[in-house]
Structure 1
Amino acid sequence: MQWHNTATRFGALAKCFHWTSAAAFIGAYAVVYYVIWFMDDTADESLPVLNIHWVLGLLVGFLVLPRLLWRWLDVQPEDPPGPALEHALAHAAHWALYGLLIVMPVTGYLGTGAPTDFGLFSVTGFNDTALFAWIHLTWGVGWEAFEAPVDAVHHFIGKFVAWAVVLLHVAAALFHHRVRRDGVLMRMLPGGR
């Protein structure tokens, strides 16, 4: 098993980061839409299901920093043949994805006033942290006043921006695979050569 990237393909660690992040991100969406469509999200019965959304969201957040560090430390596969503008747009789209992987978990956590139970440990809700206590004391902002705009940002990005960026990423991968046939998708698939 090749852990490091090469000039032509991604290594096992980059693939693991990519697919684990993707699975957690998609899973978080599936769970929250299940709650929205089939449950009363204000009822106590929805909290264990919402907890799964929070766990998956925090997992995305926990993975993004080591993923970015690994991207910085390891060689990146070369761009496929194509125009410079296309490469610049592809790089911008990748950074937009990384931005999503940071902004969505951060705004999700900051707007959650309940602990996230991972089973073996729990992450305190932001409203019970020393940082929020400092914000409250310094600016006199209560939890409801703080939570509402953070939640609005999280929901807006989740409903509109994230879908566009993720669908663009998937469409570009399929375009490279089906139209260009340049191996871009294959170099990120598990076991792909």
Structure 2
Amino acid sequence: MQWKNNADRFGALAKFFHWTSAAAFIGAYVVVYYVIWFLDEEAPGTLAVLNVHWMLGLLVGALVLPRLAWRLLDVQPQDPPGSALEHKLAHAAHWGLYGLLIALPLTGYVGTGLHTDFGLFAVPSFRDTALFESMATTFGMTWESFEAPVDSVHHFLGKWVAWGVVGLHVLAAVFHHRVRKDDVLTRMLP
């Protein structure tokens, strides 16, 4: 098993970052839509289920920086045959995905007023940090006036932007595999 990428394939570490991020990202969506569709917000167990969403979101956020560092440090496989425009669009789409992998966990964490309980440890809510206290003092804001717009950005990105960007990513992988019959998908498979 090769850990590093080469000109033809992604290495084990890049695959680990990709598939772990994808699983946590999809899991966070499954959990939050389960809450939206099937649970009452006021029901006693709802916060425990939402905590799973927060845990998965923080996992995505924790993985993105080492993932980006590895991407910048390691060689990237060569682009498949295609036009310069296709390659530019593919690279832009990948950086859009990275942007979402940063923006969604960040706005989710910053806009959540409750701690995230991982069992062995808890991550304090942003509301309980010295940074928020300093911001609130400096700008004279309350948690409620801060949380609402951040939460709106998180929900907008999650409901409208992420579905399109992730959908295009999946469709592009399937297109390369089924129509172009190249190795774009298989070189990222475990």
Calculate the TM-score normalised by the size of structure 2: 0.99
Unaligned runs of 5+ in 1: none
Structure 1 residues 43 and 148: alpha-carbon distance in aligned structure 2, compared to 1, 3 A threshold? farther
Task: Work out whether 1:124 is the aligned partner of 2:135.
Answer: no
Partner of 2:81: 81
Answering whether residue 86 of structure 2 is matched by residue 96 of structure 1, we say no
Residues 98-128 of structure 1, C-alpha deviations (whole Å, 9 max, x = no match): 0000000000000000000011110000100
| Structure 2 counterpart SS, 1:37 | helix
Identical columns (%): 74
Alpha-carbon distance between aligned partners in 2 of 1:72 and 1:186, rounded to the nearest angstrom: 22
| CA displacement at 1:40 relative to structure 2 | 1.5
Name the structure 2 match of 1:56: 56
Map residues 32-181 of structure 1 onto 2, 5 A cutoff. Answer: 32-181=32-181
Shift of 1:42: 3.9
Secondary structure in 1 aligned to 2:45?
Answer: helix
* TM-superposition CA deviations, 1:78-97 (whole Å, max 9, x none): 00000000000000000000
Aligned to 1:114, what secondary structure does the other structure show?
coil
Question: How far off is 1:185 after superposition?
Answer: 0.1
Q: Following the alignment from structure 1 to structure 2, what is the Cα–Cα distance between the partners of residues 100 and 83?
A: 26
Are 1:13 and 2:13 counterparts?
yes
| Structure 2: runs of 5+ lacking an equivalent | none
Question: How many angstroms does 1:41 deviate by?
Answer: 2.3
Aligned length: 190
143 and 42 in structure 1: CA distance in 2 versus 1, 3 angstrom threshold: farther
Query: What TM-score results when the alignment is normalised by the length of structure 1?
Result: 0.97
Structure 1 CA distance for aligned equivalents of residues 123 and 184 of structure 2: 38
1:183 matched to 2:183? The reply is yes
